[in-house]
Amino acid sequence: MLKIQRTTVKKSERALLLRNGDFDRVLHSGTHWLFAGLDQLRVESFALEQPAFTHALADYLMAREPEVVAAEFVRVELAENEVGLRSENGVLVEILPPGTRRLYWKGQVEVTVQVIDLNAGPELPAALVARLTQPQLRHRTVTGLAGLLQVQVPESSCALMTVDGKVERLLPAGAYAFWKYGRTVAVELVDLRLQSVEVSGQDIMTRDKVGLRINLCATFRYTDVLRAWSQLQKPAEHLYRELQFALRAAVGTRTLDELLENKTVIDEVVNAHMAAKLAPYGIALESAGVKDIVLPGDMKAILTQVVQAEKQAQANVIRRREETAATRSLLNTAKVMEDNPVALRMKELETLERVAERIDKISVVGGLDQVLNGLVKLR
């Protein structure tokens, strides 16, 4: 039985006419009378507001229907070394990876694809980076960003860029993006400001076999980042190990008494050691100092006893010296009185005055001479 089928395509749509499951033609907007005959017809509609043509016939159309593709679609075929930037009505919406083969409907949405050659280098142009790093200015996010490495280098920092394990260059502060297709791109941020490192809990034995626990604090900065990372795998760890070696060299070659007498000797030795060790690697040690030295419990008790004994001995020396000075003064006074009766009399009066200060009432009999001669009656 012969059949005629009526179908309507909206102005915002396109449709594919399939005859017995195979592609027949593209139907534009309007009413269509389709002569089926003995065949089976099927019409599949596509909304033009979604321009991507995702259909099993896409590869067939690109291979066997070039005229239809040229008339109805925007054709995208990327090589293995190419990336596509797809825009809709002038707005970037998607990054197409290498090897992409797609069709996009022409009509309602203007689709354009910018092809970029990956052989030109991994870094994206600054204008494109600005478009990618301002998502707040767009109504829809860009898809396909998995193939990009986006880097934001803050001020007072820099970034070390490596491609396939090889150091390429140093990135100053700013925004960057790199293609990851066909290569391994890595970026490590480096702080150029003054940094600190703590070397804590170092158990070190002095030359006289006394175990100490020392905590050290140091500050450093990078003077040549490329040199540091080209020669050292992890510069901060190398700095930490060298500080440990310097600390052991300063403490292990000196006795406890030497360290206690000159507490700055450790700082001086560590700074001198580090200046020679770090100069070839582009790292400068700004300062290094011992925060505290922790003695063992028994050593603390011994030192306390030593200090107490020293202070006691010093006190005894001072006491003996004062007693000797007092005795010498008394001897000198006695000699003066022996040769001078007037001075002896004045000393007696002074003694009487001192005694009178402690007595309420004194009765004198026989005149004042009797007081001096011992005839004093106290009540």
Query: What pLDDT is attached to residue 363?
Result: 66
Q: To which H or E segment does residue 14 belong?
A: strand 13-19
Q: What SS3 state is found at 308? A: helix
Query: What pLDDT is attached to residue 379?
Result: 39
Please give the Cα distance from 108 to 47 (Å, whole number): 9
Query: What pLDDT is attached to residue 365?
Result: 60
Report the candidate in 244, 253, 252, 293 with the shortest Cα–Cα distance to residue 273. 244
**Which residue's structure tokens are 């450093």?**
220
Please give the Cα distance from 222 to 228 (Å, whole number): 8
Task: Please enumerate in sequence order all residues whose Cβ is within 8 A of that of 361, keeping only pairs 6 or more positions apart, or say none.
Answer: 379
Contact of 241 with 274, CB cutoff 8 Å: no
Query: What pLDDT is attached to residue 376?
Result: 41
Please give the Cα distance from 354 to 356 (Å, whole number): 5
Please give the Cα distance from 203 to 248 (Å, whole number): 9
**Domains of the chain in sequence order:** 195-295 (3.30.479.30), 301-378 (no CATH)
Any idea what the Cα angle at residue 52 is, between residues 44 and 136, rounded to 5°? 140
Sign of the dihedral defined by the CA atoms of residues 191, 195, 200, 205, in that order:
positive
Query: What pLDDT is attached to residue 367?
Result: 55
Query: What pLDDT is attached to residue 186?
Result: 92
Please give the Cα distance from 305 to 175 (Å, whole number): 65
Query: What pLDDT is attached to residue 256?
Result: 80
| DSSP calls for 317-345 | HHHHHHHHHHHHHHHHHHHHHHH-HHHHH
From first to last of the 379 residues of the chain, give the pLDDT tens digit.
567 889 999 999 999 999 998 999 999 999 998 888 888 899 999 999 999 999 999 999 999 999 999 999 999 999 999 999 999 998 889 999 999 999 999 988 999 999 999 998 899 988 888 887 665 555 678 888 889 999 999 998 999 999 988 888 899 999 999 999 988 999 999 999 999 999 988 888 888 888 888 899 999 999 999 999 888 888 999 999 999 999 988 888 888 878 877 878 888 889 988 988 898 899 999 998 888 887 765 655 555 665 566 767 777 778 788 778 778 877 777 777 777 777 667 776 777 677 676 776 666 665 555 555 554 444 3
